[in-house]
């Protein structure tokens, strides 16, 4: 699963401009500025709801990017961690009356445990087998939530308090948390651990031979992804106020994975762009009603045909110098 | 790098100034409220137009449109016309919340939608915050009313009412040992558990077994074995028709001869097709009034099919009634103000709907559920007993 592609048209002026923009440090700041200024342009409840969902989806995608993009572990059940985070926070806030932010430490602990419990047996497997087992775990979490009493069974949990009464404040809190998460994921990717992840992705046996403890490194990627997903789940529970097993289906895992692949695996700005595209497109296409998901599918296929390496592909620093 | 930085800042500044000049909907634009006191009164409707339940959407939308057109033909309400605004909820919580916010942004005064309970539940606070009354035509899970929200009104029968009707029919049939089978979805489990509770209290028929099946399988023989081991003389399936058809067929194949009854989610001609005509014959169902079983609705069915070129389907009548009820509440309130419309809805007494004269209980549900017993006769559901 290599993502190193250097086929971008660098000969044309447009290509040069594009790659200068892609490499610019300021792209992230510009993105954050757009996110911060957007409510000044349009602050209708609808726009805020869509933008908040998009921000949460960005967080999910950047978490999965650690697992799939950095470390090359194909995870088809990522929504399991999203569900664990949402349910932990939902149960604690409705049963014990905790404010949403107070549930965050518990969510982190629970998702780390979930990451170890799910990761420890599965990460001994490679490639296709890993994908199949993660797919299974994704379903196990959903079906467990469907059958437990504490999670409200099939009807789920409702009446979860938000972070504040105003959707604008909620949006800004979400943007701040998501930006920190994206920056954090990106810094992790460039750390010593991040280099080990990339090594494992490129060649696991070579990494092992060079002294990288691949199993521990992979587990670390899995746990980091789990914490990111769980925190996104807290925001999700706060935004919707009601969660049920129906929100955590395999389709959701597939959509997050699609955001990562569409944006460019391993590329932080790419994954952010991919997540925004995946979460906004269905809303933009709302007027097509019955043809909504048909149009969505066709557009995704077109994007993958035109830019198979992703919208904003990753170029490693070592290679581009 | 310096050049690109300047370029980014300039283009950002340009974009901001163009956009802020273009529309006044931002934080600084002084929240303009769509749908003021002029023009048509917008009614919002959240229904599934995509996803697994997409088939229901057109039935509800067309019927609501029919009611809007009829009311507008008579001059509208409060001297203004009504306008129906539809949004897709895809039977999914997140899509439904976005859709509800879209309707709020478009300035709807009353919500007349809601089919999937799981997708409707998270929209309650969205409409509540905007002070918009909700008349929910189809979704009927108990959680919708358990929060005792002032703005939520249900005009479909609830799980409790369906369970009551089921127990009444079991008792009437002289059943002794009842097997309750559900598929672990919120709607289905709710009915089964409530039926079990009523059976425990009634002292009549006993619950032999409460069995849960996994939806979308093709072989239910393990479940059937569990059920038949308890030797029931009455089986009540509370899930949807796909599994209902299979379970009916496999029960008959396993030699079960007692009565079979299904809940309202299984009332579809597809049930008889899946089960096969012989196995399905004589299967009972608990169901609210549908266009097929309504008495004296021929005129309404004719005008529906004339307008849309197809017959009304499940929940068409409830959607039609929801719009008519919204118009009535607006008329009695004399205003589109949410609080006034809510008290008008609470005060309504004897408004004629398909389910009978309307009066809301303190829980904002129907005082009579209007559930009746249907039976399959040569592949079609026909009225067996109105339970009146």
Give the tens place of pLDDT for each residue, A136-182: 999 999 999 988 888 887 778 888 887 777 888 999 999 999 999 99
Residue B381 lies in a domain: yes
Does B185 share its domain with B115? no
Residue B86 lies in a domain: yes
> Which residues in chain B have Cβ-Cβ distances shorter than 8 Å to A30?
8, 12
B101 with A240: Cβ contact below 8 A: no
Using the Cα atoms of residue B20, residue B26, residue B28 and residue B34 in order, give the sign of their dihedral: positive
Other C-beta atoms within 10 Å of A304: how many? 14
Residue B145 φ/ψ, nearest 5 degrees: -100, -15
Does B132 share its domain with B67? yes
Does B80 share its domain with B220? no
Q: Which domain holds residue B258?
A: 160-287+372-385
Residue B10 lies in a domain: no
Does B128 share its domain with B171? no
* pTM given for the model: 0.81
Tell me the pLDDT of chain B (388 aa) as tens digits: 445 555 555 554 555 444 444 445 666 654 444 445 678 999 999 998 887 778 788 889 999 999 999 999 998 898 899 999 999 988 888 889 999 999 999 999 999 999 888 889 889 989 998 999 999 998 888 788 888 889 999 988 888 888 989 999 999 988 889 999 998 877 888 899 999 999 988 877 888 889 989 888 888 999 999 999 989 999 999 988 888 999 999 999 998 989 999 998 888 778 888 898 888 999 999 988 777 777 667 888 888 999 998 888 778 888 999 999 999 999 999 888 999 999 999 998 888 888 778 888 888 888 776 788 999 998 888 888 887 6
Does B240 share its domain with B274? yes
Residue B338 lies in a domain: yes
> Which residues in chain A have Cβ-Cβ distances shorter than 8 Å to B114?
none
Distance from the B369 Cα atom to the nearest Cα atom in chain A, whole angstroms? 22
The residue among B23, B25, B107, B128 with the most chain A CBs within 10 A of its CB, best to mutate, is: B25
Does B53 share its domain with B142? yes
Residue B25 lies in a domain: no
Tell me the CA distances in angstroms from A257 to A55, A266, B77, B333, B335, one per residue in order: 16, 12, 50, 51, 49
Distance from the A46 Cα atom to the nearest Cα atom in chain B, whole angstroms? 4
Does B62 share its domain with B210? no
Does B231 share its domain with B282? yes
Instruction: For residue B350, give the H/E element and its range.
Output: strand B349-353
> Which residues in chain B have Cβ-Cβ distances shorter than 8 Å to A159?
147
Does B219 share its domain with B264? yes
Tokens 């049939």 -> residue? B173
CATH of the domain at B220: 3.40.50.2300
A46 with B102: Cβ contact below 8 A: yes
What's the CA gap between B202 and A255, in Å, rounded? 49
Distance from the B279 Cα atom to the nearest Cα atom in chain A, whole angstroms? 30
Instruction: Pick B186's closest partner by Cβ from A50, A53, A154.
Output: A154
Does B248 share its domain with B339? no
Residue B168 lies in a domain: yes
Does B49 share its domain with B136? yes
A47 with B105: Cβ contact below 8 A: yes
Residue B2 lies in a domain: no
Residue B22 lies in a domain: no
Q: How does DSSP classify residue A66?
A: I
> Which residues in chain A have Cβ-Cβ distances shorter than 8 Å to B144?
none
The residue among A241, A283, A293 with the most chain B CBs within 10 A of its CB, best to mutate, is: A241
Q: Domain count for chain B, please give it.
A: 2
Q: How does DSSP classify residue B310?
A: S
A45 with B31: Cβ contact below 8 A: no
Does B311 share its domain with B280? no
């Amino acid at each position: 699963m290599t993502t190193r592609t250097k086929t971008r048209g660098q000969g044309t002026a447009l290509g040069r401009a594009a790659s200068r923009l892609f490499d610019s440090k300021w792209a992230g700041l510009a993105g954050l500025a757009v996110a911060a200024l957007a409510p000044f342009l349009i602050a209708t409840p609808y726009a805020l709801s869509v933008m908040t969902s998009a921000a949460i989806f960005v967080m999910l995608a950047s978490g999965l990017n650690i697992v799939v993009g950095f470390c090359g572990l194909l995870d088809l059940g990522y929504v399991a961690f999203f569900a664990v985070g949402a349910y932990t926070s939902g149960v604690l806030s409705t049963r014990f009356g905790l404010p949403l932010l107070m549930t965050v430490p518990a969510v982190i602990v629970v998702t780390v445990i979930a990451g170890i419990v799910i990761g420890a047996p599965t990460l001994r497997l490679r490639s296709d087998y890993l994908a199949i087992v993660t797919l299974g775990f994704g379903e196990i979490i959903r079906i467990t939530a469907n059958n437990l009493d504490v999670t409200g069974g099939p009807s789920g949990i409702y009446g979860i308090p938000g972070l504040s009464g105003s959707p604008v404040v909620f949006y800004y809190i979400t943007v701040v948390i998501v930006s920190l998460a994206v920056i954090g994921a990106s810094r992790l990717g460039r750390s010593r651990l991040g280099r080990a992840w990339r090594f494992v992705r490129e060649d696991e046996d070579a990494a092992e031979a060079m002294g990288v403890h691949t199993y521990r490194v992979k587990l670390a990627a899995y746990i980091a992804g789990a914490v990111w997903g769980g925190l996104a789940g807290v925001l999700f529970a706060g935004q919707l106020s009601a969660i049920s097993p129906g929100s955590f289906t395999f389709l959701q895992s597939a959509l997050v994975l699609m955001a990562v692949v569409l944006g460019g695996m391993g590329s932080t700005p790419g994954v952010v762009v991919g997540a925004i595209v995946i979460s906004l497109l269905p809303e933009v296409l709302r007027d097509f009603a019955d043809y909504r998901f048909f149009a969505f599918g066709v557009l995704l296929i077109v994007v993958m045909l035109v830019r198979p390496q992703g919208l904003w592909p990753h170029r490693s620093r070592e290679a581009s110098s | 790098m310096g050049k690109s930085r300047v370029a980014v800042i300039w283009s950002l500044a340009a974009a901001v100034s163009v956009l802020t000049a273009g529309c006044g909907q931002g934080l600084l634009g002084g929240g303009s409220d769509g749908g003021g006191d002029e023009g048509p009164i917008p009614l919002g409707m959240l229904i599934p137009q995509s996803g697994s339940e997409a088939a229901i959407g057109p039935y509800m939308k067309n019927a609501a449109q029919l009611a809007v057109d009829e009311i507008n033909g008579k001059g509208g309400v409060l001297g203004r016309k009504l306008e129906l605004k539809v949004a897709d909820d895809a039977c999914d919580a997140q899509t439904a919340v976005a859709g509800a916010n879209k309707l709020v942004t478009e300035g709807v005064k009353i919500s007349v939608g809601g089919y999937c309970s799981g997708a409707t539940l998270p929209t309650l606070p969205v409409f509540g915050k905007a002070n918009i009354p909700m008349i929910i035509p189809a979704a009927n899970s108990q959680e919708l009313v358990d929060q005792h929200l002032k703005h939520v009104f249900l005009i479909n029968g609830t799980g409790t009412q369906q369970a009551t009707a089921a127990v009444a029919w079991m008792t009437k049939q002289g059943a002794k040992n009842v097997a309750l089978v559900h598929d672990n979805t919120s709607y289905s489990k709710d009915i089964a558990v409530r039926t079990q509770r009523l059976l425990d209290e009634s002292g009549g028929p006993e619950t032999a077994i409460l069995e849960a099946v996994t939806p979308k399988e093709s072989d239910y023989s393990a479940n059937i074995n569990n059920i038949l081991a308890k030797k029931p003389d009455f089986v009540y399936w509370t899930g949807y028709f796909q599994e209902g058809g299979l379970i009916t067929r496999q029960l008959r194949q396993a030699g079960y001869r007692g009565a079979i009854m299904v809940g309202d989610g299984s009332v579809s001609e597809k049930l008889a097709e899946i089960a096969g005509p012989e196995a399905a014959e004589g299967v009972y169902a608990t169901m609210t009034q549908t266009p097929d079983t309504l008495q004296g609705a021929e005129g309404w069915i004719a005008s529906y099919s004339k307008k849309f070129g197809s017959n009304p389907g499940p929940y068409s009548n409830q959607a039609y009634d929801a719009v008519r009820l919204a118009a009535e509440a607006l008329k009695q309130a004399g205003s589109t103000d949410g609080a006034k419309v809510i008290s008008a809805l609470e005060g309504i007494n004897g408004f004629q709907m398909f389910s009978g004269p309307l009066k809301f209980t303190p829980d904002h549900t129907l005082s009579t559920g209007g559930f009746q017993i249907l039976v399959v006769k040569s592949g079609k559901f026909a009225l067996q007993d109105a339970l009146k």
